[in-house]
Structure 1
Amino acid sequence: MTYGSETWSLTMGLIKRLKVTQRAMERAMLGVSLRDHIRNEEIRKRTKVTDIARRIAKLKWQWAEHIARRTDGRWGRKVLEWRPRTGRRSVGRPPTRWTDDLARRAGIRWMRDAQDRSLWRRARGGLCPAVDVFRLR
């Protein structure tokens, strides 16, 4: 379910859909119906599966570190640094970019910080597992 998720631009709607799908899969694994009225916390204790939002945040954090440390000139890093020539954006709220989440959590200069592995891993310990932005009720 998380294949390629480190490259997604995560929105709250997408995360909510992923969580719903994960809960449905966990219920199917246990053979539990919604009519059984078993709480999600109880099902999570039984399956011992990691929350999908935490897993995706961890994968994204690791991928960002990998891309930032690349120096061989491949297109992954160039795509992150690319800005459109026209400068025009569509009317309304601009779409979420992949780097917006990292810039909000790790700071504007996240790419420079990710060059240092020990610093980046310490920051991940403080920022990534909390995933308070992704908690949906």
Structure 2
Amino acid sequence: MIAYHDALSRIASRLEGSTLSPFIYTVILEEISQSLWETVPWCMLFADYIVLVAETREEEIDGDVNHCIQEGWIKWRAATALLCDRLFPSKLKGKFYRTSIRPALLYGTKCWPVKKIFEHKMKVSEMRILRWMCGHTLVDRIRNQEFRDKLGVAPISRKMSENRLRWFGHVQRKNLAAPMRRVESIIVEGKRSRGRPKRTSDEQIKVDLCSLNHSEGLTRDRGSWRRHIHFRLLMSS
């Protein structure tokens, strides 16, 4: 794998800026991952990405969640001098958070299995960042909503739901023959483990739709769908 990495680095340095770079990158990754491939749609190509779908649930995503949180903190620390400056306007702090820090926290959340612990971790990390941006800690005993109103930041759990619904709309607009739609009809063989079954993505999407009182029919119009699922922060009086 180190040899492959060195080869990719040399090729990338020579083709940097070339319009052929995405194509050549995909061809190389296709060759590297050939031994992992199974029949379509277990392996799918999207532009310059290769998606490998596992048949089991052995691979948990706790590491991905922690990585996103760490990336969010890295973004925050890079701008600490600005975000913790009491003279800097709060609304601009909130705008910086929404455009730079929150996207790092939310990266990949649209495809995560839904677990309350993931949302809780995200919420805790977000509120720590918002409190420190306002110069407060938990000791000050100030409600979370006051920080959100001051900075103009919506709850991250609602933004995670918005990401899921945005991706759901993107998938629903695809043709039924598209690889991402063919995945919906895959039947994974095996025996379910004991205990309450985990909530599936379809079940979570239904919950998200019910919470907004929307239907799947709205997904056909991309612009209208995005307007309907967008969460706007309502300032408390």
TM-score for both structures, normalised by structure 2: 0.44
* Pair 1:113–1:82, CA change in 2 (3 A): farther
State the shift of 1:85 in Å. 2.7
- Tell me which residue corresponds to 1:92: 195
**Larger-Rg structure:** 2
* Pair 1:76–1:32, CA change in 2 (3 A): same
- Tell me which residue corresponds to 1:65: 169
5 Å matches for 1:47-62? 47-62=151-166
Secondary structure of the equivalent of 2:206?
helix
* Pair 1:90–1:6, CA change in 2 (3 A): same
The code of the aligned residue for 2:115 comes to T
RMSD: 3.2
Fraction of identical pairs, as percent: 25
* Pair 1:72–1:92, CA change in 2 (3 A): closer
Contact in 2 for aligned 1:54/1:128 (Cα 8 Å): no
Matched residues, number: 124
Unpaired stretches in structure 1, ≥5 consecutive residues? 130-137
State the shift of 1:76 in Å. 2.5
- Tell me which residue corresponds to 1:32: 136
5 Å matches for 1:1-137? 1-71=105-175, 73-86=177-190, 88-106=191-209, 113=217, 116-117=220-221, 121=225, 125=228, 129=231
Unpaired stretches in structure 2, ≥5 consecutive residues? 1-104, 232-237
Deviations along 1:62-105, one digit per CA (max 9) or x if unpaired, are 1001011112845322333322134x211111122222112345
